[in-house]
Structure 1
């Protein structure tokens, strides 16, 4: 197996084509919700799936292309183009059947050659999801770009790039699942899509009833935004031993906290120490929270719009770094608890009243848990992927701000979470030291929890 940092391969691509719905669909304009069209979601987000071959000789590109055309009959807005209404920055979909960009490709590499590289950052990712010229704009461009890359072993890689304003991770997985079902011969998706974006529109009149510090306009007075140059990408694995070691670092009454809460508190603290902000300045962590079940009644099962919030924990850098891990954990738990139906209503109202602002990125760390999104269950007819989920960390063109929690099985067969992290090289060294200390040197009472963690880099 080739080590990840030395794996290089060539990809031969056919010319990109537009796949349109297999049957005529309604020609209309559909408004996005007031949560969908906020500035912080106006970017393209990539996901990647690796599938082994099944020896059948079937062509995955052909099967997926046909399934895609049939699924777009039901998900026809995804074949349209986003427009912005003049004067309001309101986004609408022009359902014009222009189609989804599709690229068929072949790579001179086998799935086994990836070895431990089946986690972000992926080698030659720019070849596996080729940025077709003119395709990456938010407005007047394809909403989806899909590439199916056949491998020498008979397996294949499915990559997709989505305009985030259209859907969140749950909505994307719902659509991918529909493509798989249609590729396998179904007459209709098992979960029918629901548009109903008005469910997350602002009230009339709009009124902000909750505190939304995630949208504070913070000036970068100390130039603390992470630079674009000299960035290092690594992934860290957290299994049972690693999580046990982290839990040993918090008071007994906090040890029943969720894996997300404990891990987020740990990474936020280690990352803040690593980037060395001014001790007196505020730092924050934004915890993406799925709000589908927070409504009464819950949002419809087929809803595929953005249905999450960015609840935020805020504190001074010195307090976060000098206090024990339990301090950060309590802040994260309180932030998560903020997300209610009223919070989402207030969020939609804020978007309308304040011009659809971007969430705060200055001294911010954003975490998104995709472990329950379902990427690992998407079946196009070749079974479940050996890896399925985000293709890289980061949010849009902002490096280092975001990390995803991705379900992962390591080479020893242990299930856990892999977390991609992007930092400048000097900060990454400090981050690794801080994390290593938490994982390798638990308190004396929990010495049995000593463990190591997997690092991959590119």
Structure 2
């Protein structure tokens, strides 16, 4: 396990301000879809981008990222004006956006540190997130609060940190990228976005006569046992990250029979971390456990999952489901990695048609917006191009999620000592961390490799 020394630095923040659309925008109510409206999505998600100063000359003398991004934000909100509104609850807590143009929160800040001095401390989870993404009291809820919080922190070297927190009910990672790409385009002088945003949340409404037509193990449908792998004490969880480079992926594939070796990295890592997590938690062998890979309805670029025709280009709402792989804890830990991988692949395959996500929207309405309990949810952000956003200073050193959540693990693109790979962010009970690391090492010792593990609170 690698330990990184702490580094003390000061961040001076200006008073938060509200950035409104640069031009008048429609004032209307817009309903969220029944996929957006799931209880499981009513939380805030932080993302980070680190930029150095090497490409500042491309801004033709305007080297202040705060000014550039603030102006670009106002222009981008003309097209994404619902993001400048506020959520309201209607009948039965149905969420809608009051597009009132109140604006998004923006914080200007300066830090007495350079990107070089931060060094490996930018590896995730971010140990100084509260400094570069300041929570504004009273503005961090779901209803009646800003949908976006942005802080741009200028560094002593001329680089900067762009930090953002968004309300997950309003968009998913692909939708966030679409907005952020428009912001980047506007910051570089574009007059309109390359992809015009589309609201059309009605494409993922429940049907007029809602009916559950698919099996939804992610919500405990037709499952024996408790359906909950463990009651995690959220006060005792710690953030951890695990790096999977080419050597680690190759070692994991060597555990598989030939017909599974072409599985995607996301499937492979999900199966591996699910198996290691359950083993580390030391559950009863007959305990029912679940892993839910997030599967986008937009398509993942492969022939196996082309996306759903109902989701139009430019749609920036939530357009995914998280079908569950199900096993007994004892079977998951006893059988080879291929067993877990087969289950993950079977779960993902449920999203190969329009009916599954439509059935999920209907379930949300029929069952009164149930929350997922017990699932190990895994989201892949590596296909969103979030790490390629250019505001005029080139691409970031890192761009992606800032931390994991108690039951949600995130995969992000990451470069470790010049080597491209996947960084897996997870929350684990303190007493289970060492057991998880030992289980993970067992999975890769056949190639005399050791997972590169970054450990931070």
- Asked if TM exceeds 0.5, the reply is yes
Counterpart of 1:455 in structure 2 is 453
Deviation at 1:120, TM superposition (A): 1.3
Structure 1 position 319 matched with structure 2 position 331: yes
Q: For structure 2, which runs of at least 5 residues remain unmatched after alignment?
A: 300-305
* The one of 330, 334, 353 aligned to 2:342: 330
Preserved contact between residue 100 and residue 144 of structure 1 (Cα < 8 Å) = yes
Structure 1 position 183 matched with structure 2 position 194: no
CA distance in 2, matches of 1:214, 1:415: 32
Preserved contact between residue 44 and residue 163 of structure 1 (Cα < 8 Å) = yes
SS at match of 2:283: coil
Preserved contact between residue 42 and residue 164 of structure 1 (Cα < 8 Å) = yes
Preserved contact between residue 4 and residue 115 of structure 1 (Cα < 8 Å) = no
Structure 1 position 358 matched with structure 2 position 374: no
Structure 1 position 233 matched with structure 2 position 239: yes
Structure 1 position 349 matched with structure 2 position 362: yes
Preserved contact between residue 262 and residue 329 of structure 1 (Cα < 8 Å) = yes
SS at match of 2:153: strand
SS at match of 1:64: helix
Preserved contact between residue 11 and residue 128 of structure 1 (Cα < 8 Å) = yes
Deviation at 1:7, TM superposition (A): 2.0
CA distance in 2, matches of 1:225, 1:326: 27
Counterpart of 1:84 in structure 2 is 89
Deviation at 1:297, TM superposition (A): 2.5
CA distance in 1, matches of 2:378, 2:74: 34
For residues 168-247 of structure 1, what are the structure 2 equivalents within 5 Å? 168-216=172-220, 224-247=230-253
* The one of 127, 130, 134 aligned to 1:123: 127
CA distance in 1, matches of 2:122, 2:90: 42
CA distance in 1, matches of 2:94, 2:436: 40
CA distance in 2, matches of 1:12, 1:220: 49
Preserved contact between residue 50 and residue 386 of structure 1 (Cα < 8 Å) = yes
SS at match of 1:72: helix
CA distance in 2, matches of 1:157, 1:283: 39
For residues 43-442 of structure 1, what are the structure 2 equivalents within 5 Å? 43-53=43-53, 54-56=55-57, 58-86=63-91, 88-216=92-220, 224-293=230-299, 296-297=308-309, 299-339=311-351, 340-360=353-373, 362=374, 364-394=375-405, 399=406, 401-411=407-417, 413-440=418-445, 442=446
CA distance in 2, matches of 1:296, 1:439: 37
CA distance in 2, matches of 1:341, 1:299: 10
Preserved contact between residue 440 and residue 451 of structure 2 (Cα < 8 Å) = no
Cα deviation digits, residues 320-378 of structure 1 (max 9, x gap) = 11111111111011001011211011111111111111122x2x211111110111111
Preserved contact between residue 80 and residue 99 of structure 1 (Cα < 8 Å) = yes
- How many corresponding residue pairs? 441
Counterpart of 1:446 in structure 2 is none
Change (3 A) 1:78 1:58: same
Counterpart of 1:36 in structure 2 is 36
TM-score of the aligned structures, taking structure 2 as reference length: 0.93
Preserved contact between residue 229 and residue 289 of structure 2 (Cα < 8 Å) = no
After TM superposition, where is structure 1 displaced by more than 6 Å over at least 4 residues in a row? 217-223
Preserved contact between residue 253 and residue 261 of structure 2 (Cα < 8 Å) = yes
CA distance in 2, matches of 1:118, 1:257: 30
Change (3 A) 1:221 1:404: closer
Deviation at 1:123, TM superposition (A): 2.1
CA distance in 1, matches of 2:355, 2:228: 35
CA distance in 1, matches of 2:277, 2:384: 25
Cα deviation digits, residues 114-158 of structure 1 (max 9, x gap) = 222222111211111110011110000000000000011100000
CA distance in 2, matches of 1:8, 1:220: 46
SS at match of 1:205: coil
Change (3 A) 1:328 1:157: same
CA distance in 1, matches of 2:344, 2:5: 35
SS at match of 1:73: helix
TM-score of the aligned structures, taking structure 1 as reference length: 0.93
Superposed CA RMSD: 1.8
Q: Which moved more, 1:303-312 or 1:49-58?
A: 49-58
CA distance in 1, matches of 2:232, 2:209: 39
CA distance in 2, matches of 1:83, 1:287: 30
